[in-house]
Amino acid sequence: MFWQKKQVTPADESVADKVGIEAEGFYRSGKMHCAEAVLMAARNQFFPSMPEDVVGAASGFGGGSGVGCVCGAVAGGTMAFGFVLKDDKHKLKRVTKELHEWFKQEYGASCCRIATKNAKDRGGCAVLTGEVAKKMAELLAS
């Protein structure tokens, strides 16, 4: 995608890298916010038969649900876990907890207002979105 910041050669790219780069690209395109971008990248990799318009279910989560609460990228990743792991509630619970704990360690909180401030020196929400998508894909592979 022409709007992607990162350039990775296909031979060097893992599935998680691919998902992260794609989510960051969706965000940078300006056509999706963080939750939609993470969910669309997950859909493309893990459940491509699902209609693209299902990603619209994540629309309300951008910007911490519009009020700066739970990070939309984390919410999008959590939604993806639900789609992929709907029949494995134990793993679903484990990876959701791991994603939230990882995010809090990386960005200081799961609150959008705080995480966004802490992400500014790391590339902002676009990079944060890609990193969350990558972590989500890694956890799905675990």
State which amino acid sits at residue 15: V
In tens digits, the chain (142 residues) has pLDDT values of 444 445 544 555 799 999 999 999 999 999 999 999 999 999 999 999 999 999 999 999 988 888 888 999 999 999 999 999 999 999 999 999 999 999 999 999 999 999 999 998 888 999 999 999 999 999 999 8
What is the per-residue pLDDT for 46?
96
Which tokens sit at 59? 């629309």
Q: What is the dihedral of CA 4, 10, 11, 15, to 10 degrees?
A: 80
What is the per-residue pLDDT for 93?
97
What is the per-residue pLDDT for 68?
81
Which tokens sit at 138? 């890694």
What is the per-residue pLDDT for 7?
52
User: Helix 72-84 and helix 124-141: axis angle, to 10°?
Assistant: 20
What is the per-residue pLDDT for 1?
45
